[in-house]
């Protein structure tokens, strides 16, 4: 037996001691003071952005500051990850095809407590922080509420010191840049990465292979078990990029991990050496297409296939990443060690898009780790949760079996086996055949489809809705048979928003006013904001409240004038409807009401003289392939062209469509609103979060009893909101007994005059006939979304609003009470409920930061 070489051991000890000096340096927390910030900022401007006095411009100043802030985030992220690993904490992976992060500079400064220092440091160099932050582009990682919800959740996860992270796709191009040309939406590429992204960190060491196509082969393993092996036809690499997310007033920093697609082999020298230079790089370009664009056109086969590839890339990379971390930390050498997986890992599927997590986790456990089926399925279910975001059965994602099987042959086999086992269990329990068919993951028919929502329900330990009404609807209608089967599986988690972005950052004057009166405890406990209720009738507080609202309206008026060339009166009612353009959201009901008021002013001088000045503002994007939604935008713009240029009305009524709705524009619109339009057809909006953002800044809700509107009214009281229209039950009853919009059109004079103006080309004289299809859908096409049924009630509630707005003190009191009662709608509350009831994760104990957020 050889004796250890003492000199070698001494050298190793000496090397490790020297290493320790480096680790000690890394463990030191950087100073957050003016001198340290200015030095770091100047360093990044010269050495990272590579600028000097003659070339530095505003965008360069922004990038240098962003890199400076990122340095501090990296330090805290490393500390956070070390704590998670040392405590062997259970990790959450929140998987979403969208994370609508918006701009990051200001909210990161707010959460880290660096905003005042950064402003002072820039001011010393002659720059204004408010101007510099406007150089940041909106991150093009989402479209609407689904992605913005995920972004709010990630911020709350960090603020609550929870060991969780987000997972999504690194889209090179966002949904699209919306332009309005002669009233029509035109789409242009959203090249949000064209100047690079200073917030992202490419993780060169975190890369996973993701396979497509090919076939499967059967073989018998050493234990005599028949197993399957996937022989792929195409492989790509999922490359990780991290965007760091700090919590508020904590050392915790988590991350959004974005996956970009790269070629499995970057360059084919065989093609190159034979002179086929284009073919040599063709495969690389083809692979990178997967993460190129958010929401490819699903009206064509290639678009559908690309979308499915995106969903699988996200799911496969995230699960491989999570299992690699689990193996690193747990080292599951024995088979039974895998039983700890649900104690260390949980995946939350945000809608059905990540439902492939069910067969992918099964594939890895069964095929790669030789686990028996039943045990693998038990672990899979315990590691997964599913959030549903729709009450419309036709909106639940389905995939054609033939296409799915071609792209993911092994996953189709796994889904078939999951489904077979599930249906056998149902039949053994005596479930009737018609119920079995409704619960089946495979939808039979002329063309077979995979019901991804059913797959998510079967493969998850918990399913949740996102508002109380929404959850009841999915229990009673959308997933009623699943609810009967598993009565405890479906639960409610009402959505929430992060008030640090939507109040502290976006409406900082109001946040400061509130803090002056009640302190800053509401920043980490939004329920505490209710303390301002005691000031709701204080004349001085009311005056300050109105002053801030007017300032926000003046700021938005300048944006409107710049974008649309229309001057608006900031002292008019700012009546705002901002959301994705869709028939069920009923932007066109708002237009019908505007036309009615316009027509009445044209024929009734007394009404014109008494009319409360109003600016009606719309914003939102229509899906490129959704023709009727695009025509709703055209109708809004056409009505606006007439109303805004009519000297009989344009002093008191303006109609605005602000193009290219995005997070940074929303941050200017929510604080300026007097009225929050939440007028979707009752029973069709899952939750909504725009209603919460409006409420937080003191806007009054006009809406139906739909989504989270129900809970908003419960909190603030019906006397401080304007509710109208049919309820969800009344809508269902109307459909059941045979709703007749033709009768309403014939018998209701106001409705008929409005619709005849649309049909008669009053607002589109240069393009006659373009609104005929829209007219037909409302009158002879069944008016599925019940606009005509709700028209009178909507008209009347708007008249109440106009009258109430004249009582300045009473209106301001209602505005203050809306903000005071917004505490329930904090995403902190939502995330606490998820962590407690579904994820089973606990907050970590971290030292307080040396610089505290205010």
The pLDDT tens digits for 335-353 are 678 999 999 999 999 999 9
- Pick the more confident residue, 743 or 175: 743
Cα distance from N-terminal residue to C-terminal residue, the chain: 65
Helix (H/G/I), strand (E/B), else coil: 783: coil
Q: Are 340 and 87 in contact (CB under 8 A)?
A: no
Q: Are 32 and 851 in contact (CB under 8 A)?
A: yes
Q: What is the DSSP letter of 655?
A: E
pLDDT above 70 for 282: no
Query: Residues 90, 621, 634, 693: which is the catalytic one?
Result: 693
Query: In which residue are the tokens 């040599």 written?
Result: 280
| Residue 736 in tokens | 């059941």
| Residue 296 in tokens | 């490819």
Q: Are 577 and 587 in contact (CB under 8 A)?
A: yes
Q: Are 73 and 243 in contact (CB under 8 A)?
A: no
Give every CB contact of residue 574 below 8 A, 6+ residues apart in sequence.
553, 556, 615, 617, 672, 673, 674, 675
Query: Residues 580, 588, 621, 634: which is the catalytic one?
Result: 580
Q: What is the mean pLDDT of residues 192-219?
A: 96
pLDDT above 60 for 2: no
Supply the pLDDT for residue 659.
Answer: 98
Supply angle C-alpha 409, 411, 416, rounded to 5: 100
Kindly report, residue by residue over 771-827, the tens digit of the pLDDT: 999 999 999 999 999 999 999 999 999 999 999 999 999 999 999 999 999 999 999
Q: Are 654 and 645 in contact (CB under 8 A)?
A: no
pLDDT above 70 for 549: yes
Supply the pLDDT for residue 102.
Answer: 94
Query: Residues 585, 662, 813, 824: which is the catalytic one?
Result: 585
Kindly report, residue by residue over 592-603, the tens digit of the pLDDT: 999 999 999 999
Judging by DSSP bridges, how do beta strands 722-723 and 573-578 pair with one another? unpaired
pLDDT above 90 for 287: no
Supply the pLDDT for residue 337.
Answer: 85
Q: What is the mean pLDDT of residues 292-318?
A: 88
Q: Cα–Cα distance between 93 and 314 in angstroms, integer? A: 12
pLDDT above 90 for 283: no
pLDDT above 80 for 852: no
pLDDT above 60 for 281: no
Look at the alpha carbons of 398, 404, 407, 410 in this order and tell me if their dihedral is positive or negative: positive
Supply the pLDDT for residue 335.
Answer: 65
CA-based nearest residue to 289, from 263, 265, 315: 263
172-181, 324-333, 379-388: lowest mean pLDDT where? 324-333
With a pLDDT cut of 70, the percent of the chain lying above it is 95
Q: Are 256 and 170 in contact (CB under 8 A)?
A: no
Q: Are 837 and 237 in contact (CB under 8 A)?
A: no
Angle between helices 145-159 and 827-834 (to 10 degrees): 80
Can 693 be counted among the known catalytic residues? yes
Q: Cα–Cα distance between 804 and 810 in angstroms, integer? A: 8
Can 580 be counted among the known catalytic residues? yes
- Pick the more confident residue, 283 or 714: 714
Mean pLDDT of the chain: 94
CA-based nearest residue to 490, from 541, 456, 528: 456
Q: Residue 854: pLDDT band by 50, 70, 90 thresholds? A: low
Residues forming a β-bridge with 263: 236
| Residues belonging to the chain | 854
Q: Are 739 and 745 in contact (CB under 8 A)?
A: no
Query: Residues 44, 70, 170, 579: which is the catalytic one?
Result: 579
Q: Cα–Cα distance between 46 and 476 in angstroms, integer? A: 61
Can 585 be counted among the known catalytic residues? yes
- Pick the more confident residue, 5 or 61: 61
Helix (H/G/I), strand (E/B), else coil: 821: coil
Q: Residue 674: pLDDT band by 50, 70, 90 thresholds? A: very high
Q: Phi/psi of residue 309, each to 5°?
A: -60, -40
Helix (H/G/I), strand (E/B), else coil: 797: helix
Buried b (16+ CB within 10 A) or exposed e, 216-237: eeeeeeeeeeeebebebeeebb
Helix (H/G/I), strand (E/B), else coil: 696: helix
Query: In which residue are the tokens 């000097």 written?
Result: 52
Residues forming a β-bridge with 234: 212
| Residue 607 in tokens | 């009404």
Can 579 be counted among the known catalytic residues? yes
Radius of gyration of the chain (CA): 29
Query: Residues 389, 493, 786, 813: which is the catalytic one?
Result: 389
Can 43 be counted among the known catalytic residues? no
For the question of whether the overall pTM of this predicted structure is more than 0.85, the answer is yes
Q: Are 468 and 458 in contact (CB under 8 A)?
A: no
Q: What is the mean pLDDT of residues 117-138?
A: 95
CA distances from 533 to 463, 520, 719, 816 (A): 36, 15, 15, 7
Kindly report, residue by residue over 687-704, the tens digit of the pLDDT: 999 999 999 999 999 999
Q: Phi/psi of residue 49, each to 5°?
A: -85, -20
CA-based nearest residue to 507, from 470, 472, 556: 556
CA distances from 328 to 85, 213, 247, 406 (A): 10, 30, 26, 34
Give every CB contact of residue 722 below 8 A, 6+ residues apart in sequence.
700, 701, 702, 703, 797, 800, 801
With a pLDDT cut of 90, the percent of the chain lying above it is 86
| Residue 356 in tokens | 């492939």
Q: Cα–Cα distance between 439 and 455 in angstroms, integer? A: 9
Q: Residue 302: pLDDT band by 50, 70, 90 thresholds? A: confident
Q: Are 423 and 440 in contact (CB under 8 A)?
A: yes
HEC profile of 729-777: HHHHHHHHHCCCHHHHHHHCHHHHHHHHHHHCCCCCCCCCCCCHHHHHH
Q: What is the mean pLDDT of residues 195-218?
A: 96
Kindly report, residue by residue over 440-479, the tens digit of the pLDDT: 999 998 899 999 999 999 999 999 999 999 999 999 999 9
CA-based nearest residue to 786, from 723, 718, 721, 738: 738
Q: What is the DSSP letter of 497?
A: B
Q: How many other C-beta atoms can be found within 10 angstroms of the C-beta atom of residue 427? A: 12
Q: Cα–Cα distance between 38 and 50 in angstroms, integer? A: 16
| Residue 836 in tokens | 């407690």
Query: In the sheet that 722-723 helps form, which strands lie side by side, from edge to edge?
Result: 653-658, 614-619, 573-578, 675-678, 700-703, 722-723
Q: Cα–Cα distance between 347 and 325 in angstroms, integer? A: 14
Query: Residues 689, 812, 819, 830: which is the catalytic one?
Result: 689
HEC profile of 252-314: CEEEEEEEEEEECCCCCHHHHHCCCHHHHHHHHHHHHHHHCECCCCCCCHHHHHHHHHHHHHH
Q: What is the DSSP letter of 624?
A: T
Judging by DSSP bridges, how do beta strands 653-658 and 614-619 pair with one another? parallel
Q: Are 108 and 77 in contact (CB under 8 A)?
A: no
Q: Cα–Cα distance between 813 and 829 in angstroms, integer? A: 26
HEC profile of 93-132: EEECCCCCCECCHHHHHHHHCCHHHHHHHHHHCCCCHHHH
HEC profile of 211-247: EECCEEEEEECCCCCEEEEEECCEEEEEEEEEEEEEC
Give every CB contact of residue 408 below 8 A, 6+ residues apart in sequence.
212, 308, 312, 356, 359
Can 82 be counted among the known catalytic residues? no
Q: Phi/psi of residue 144, each to 5°?
A: -140, -140
């Amino acid at each position: 037996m050889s004796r250890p070489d003492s000199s070698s051991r001494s050298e190793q000890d000496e090397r490790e001691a020297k290493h320790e000096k480096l680790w000690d340096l890394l463990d030191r927390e950087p100073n957050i003071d003016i001198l340290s910030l200015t030095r770091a900022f100047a360093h990044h401007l010269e050495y990272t952005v590579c600028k000097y006095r003659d070339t530095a411009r505003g965008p360069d100043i922004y990038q240098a500051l962003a890199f400076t802030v990122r340095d501090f985030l990296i330090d805290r992220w490393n500390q956070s990850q070390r704590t998670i690993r040392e405590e062997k904490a259970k990790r959450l992976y929140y998987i979403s095809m969208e994370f609508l992060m918006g701009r990051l500079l200001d909210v990161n400064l707010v959460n880290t407590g660096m905003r005042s220092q950064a402003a002072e440091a820039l001011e010393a160099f002659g720059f204004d922080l408010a101007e510099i932050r406007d150089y940041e582009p909106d991150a093009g990682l989402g479209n609407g509420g689904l992605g913005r919800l995920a972004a709010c959740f990630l911020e709350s996860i960090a603020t609550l010191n929870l060991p969780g992270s987000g997972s999504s796709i690194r889209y090179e191009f966002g949904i699209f840049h919306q332009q309005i040309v002669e009233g029509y939406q035109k789409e242009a590429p959203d090249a949000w990465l064209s100047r690079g992204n200073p917030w992202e960190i490419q993780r060169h060491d975190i890369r996973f292979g993701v396979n497509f196509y090919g076939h499967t082969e059967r073989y018998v393993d050493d234990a005599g078990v028949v197993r399957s092996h996937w022989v792929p036809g195409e492989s790509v690499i999922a490359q990780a990029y991290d965007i760091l997310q700090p919590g508020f007033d904590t050392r915790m920093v988590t991350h959004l991990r974005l996956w970009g697609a790269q070629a499995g082999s970057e360059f084919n020298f065989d093609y190159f050496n034979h002179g086929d230079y284009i073919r040599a790089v063709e495969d690389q370009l083809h692979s990178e297409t997967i993460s190129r664009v958010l929401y490819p056109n699903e009206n064509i086969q290639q678009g559908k296939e690309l979308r499915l590839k995106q969903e699988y890339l996200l799911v496969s990379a995230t699960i491989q990443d999570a299992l690699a971390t689990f193996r690193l930390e747990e080292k599951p050498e024995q088979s039974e060690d895998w039983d700890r997986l649900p104690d260390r890992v949980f995946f939350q599927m945000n809608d059905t898009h990540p439902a492939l997590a069910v067969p992918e986790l099964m594939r890895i456990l069964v095929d790669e780790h030789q686990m028996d089926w039943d045990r693998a399925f038990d672990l899979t279910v315990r590691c997964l949760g599913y959030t549903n975001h729709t009450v419309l059965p036709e909106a639940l994602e389905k995939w054609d079996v033939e296409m799915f099987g071609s792209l993911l042959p092994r996953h189709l086999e796994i889904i078939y086996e999951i489904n077979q086992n599930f249906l056998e269990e149902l039949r053994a329990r005596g479930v009737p055949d018609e119920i079995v068919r409704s619960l089946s993951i495979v939808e039979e028919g002329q063309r077979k489809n995979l019901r991804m929502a059913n797959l998510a329900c079967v493969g998850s330990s918990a399913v949740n809705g996102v508002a109380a009404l929404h959850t009841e609807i999915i229990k009673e209608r959308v997933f009623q048979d699943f609810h009967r089967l598993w009565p405890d599986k479906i639960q409610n988690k009402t959505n929430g928003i992060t008030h640090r972005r939507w109040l502290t950052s976006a409406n900082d004057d109001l946040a400061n006013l509130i803090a002056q009166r009640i302190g800053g405890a509401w920043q980490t406990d939004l329920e505490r904001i209710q303390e301002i209720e005691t000031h709701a009738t204080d004349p001085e507080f009311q005056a300050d409240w109105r002053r801030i609202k007017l300032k926000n309206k003046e700021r938005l008026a300048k944006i409107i004038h710049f974008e649309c060339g229309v001057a608006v009166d900031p002292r008019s009612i700012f009546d705002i409807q901002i959301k994705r353009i869709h028939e069920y959201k009923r932007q066109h009901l708002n237009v019908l009401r505007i036309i009615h008021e316009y027509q009445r002013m044209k024929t009734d001088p007394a009404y014109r003289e008494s009319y409360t000045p109003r600016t009606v503002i719309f914003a939102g994007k229509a899906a490129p392939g959704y023709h009727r939604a695009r025509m709703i935008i055209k109708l809004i713009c056409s009505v606006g062209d007439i109303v805004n240029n009519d000297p009989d009305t344009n002093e008191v009524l303006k109609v605005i469509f602000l193009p290219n709705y995005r997070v940074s524009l929303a941050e200017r619109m929510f604080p300026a609103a007097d009225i929050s339009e939440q007028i979707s057809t009752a029973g069709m909006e899952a939750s909504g979060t725009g209603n919460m953002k409006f409420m937080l800044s003191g806007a009054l809700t006009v809406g139906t009893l739909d989504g989270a509107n129900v809970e908003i009214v419960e909190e603030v009281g019906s006397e401080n909101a304007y509710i109208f229209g049919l309820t969800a039950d009344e809508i269902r009853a109307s459909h059941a007994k045979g709703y007749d919009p033709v009768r309403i059109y014939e018998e209701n004079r106001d409705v008929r005059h409005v619709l005849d103006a649309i049909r008669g080309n009053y607002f589109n004289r240069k393009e006659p006939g373009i609104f005929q299809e829209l007219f037909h859908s409302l009158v002879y096409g069944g008016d599925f979304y019940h606009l005509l049924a709700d028209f009178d009630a909507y008209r009347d509630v708007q008249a109440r609003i106009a009258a109430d707005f004249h009582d300045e003190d009473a209106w301001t009191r209602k505005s203050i009470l809306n903000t005071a009662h917004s505490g329930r709608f904090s995403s902190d509350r939502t995330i606490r409920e998820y962590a407690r009831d579904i994820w089973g994760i606990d907050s970590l104990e971290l030292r307080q930061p040396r610089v505290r957020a205010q």
